[in-house]
Amino acid sequence: MALLIGHLRTAAASLTILALAAAGQATRAAEGDSLEVAVKATYLYKLAPFVSWPQAVWPGPTAPLTICVQGADPFGPVLERAVSGQAVAGHPLAVRRLARIAADSGCQIAYLGGGPAQSIGQALTAVAGAPVLTVTDEARGGGRGIVNLVLDAGRVRFAIDAGLADRNGVAISSKLLALAVAVKR
C-alpha cells in the first residue's frame, strides 16, 4: 500500500511539473497564438523524457531528437519557440515539417495532422512498427496515435495506447501512463 501511495505521489508530482511547464510555455506564446495550441506544442516535447527509444534510432550521443509535424500544422512558430534551447537526455530538439511521413523519415516524435498528401490513417500505417512516438489530436479526428491529445473539461490532456507503443518499439514510463486520462493496453 505504501508503495502504491508513493507511486501516486510521484505521478501527481510529474503531472504538476508537466502542467506548470505547459503553462509556462503557453504564457510565452506570441500574442494571438491560442493557449490550446501552445499547450499542445509543449506536450510534444515534454512527453519525451518519459519515453525510451531503441538505441539504434540515435546515430550518435548528441544526435537531435526530431519532432516531425506531418500534414496540417496547427502550431506555426509556437513549436519552434517551445523547443528552442531544449534537450532531452543530451539530445537537442529539432523540428521538421513533412507532407508525408515514412518509417525512415528520422522522426522520434511525430504529430500527425493529416493533409492532402497523406491522411492521418495513412501516416499511422506508414510508421507502424517503427520506433516513432505518434501523436494525434482528437479534435482533428482520423486515427489514434500512441498519444492522443484530448480536451477534458477545457484542459488539454492525453490518452495513451500502450499496445501500439509496444508494437512500435517505444517504451512509455509508468509515470506517464499514470498521468493519462485513459490507457489502452
Q: What pLDDT, in 10s, does the model give residues 79-109?
A: 999 999 999 999 999 999 999 999 999 999 9
What is the per-residue pLDDT for 142? 60
2-184 CATH pick, 3.40.30, 3.40.50, 3.40.1350, 3.90.1200:
3.40.50
State mean pLDDT over 131-150: 90
What is the per-residue pLDDT for 79? 97
Question: DSSP letters of the chain?
Answer: -HHHHHHHHHHHHHHHHHHHHHHHHHHTSPTT--HHHHHHHHHHHHSGGGEE--GGG-SSTT--EEEEEESS-S-THHHHHHHTT-EETTEEEEEEEESS--TTS--SEEEE---SS--HHHHHHHTTTSS-EEEEEGGG-S---SEEEEEETTEEEEEEEHHHHHHHT-EEPHHHHHHSSEEE-
State mean pLDDT over 43-60: 95
What is the per-residue pLDDT for 176? 97
What is the per-residue pLDDT for 141? 76
| Maximum pairwise Cα distance, the chain | 52
State mean pLDDT over 119-135: 97
What is the per-residue pLDDT for 33? 46
Domain range summary for the chain, segments of one domain joined by +: 2-184
pLDDT at residue 167 above 70?
Answer: yes
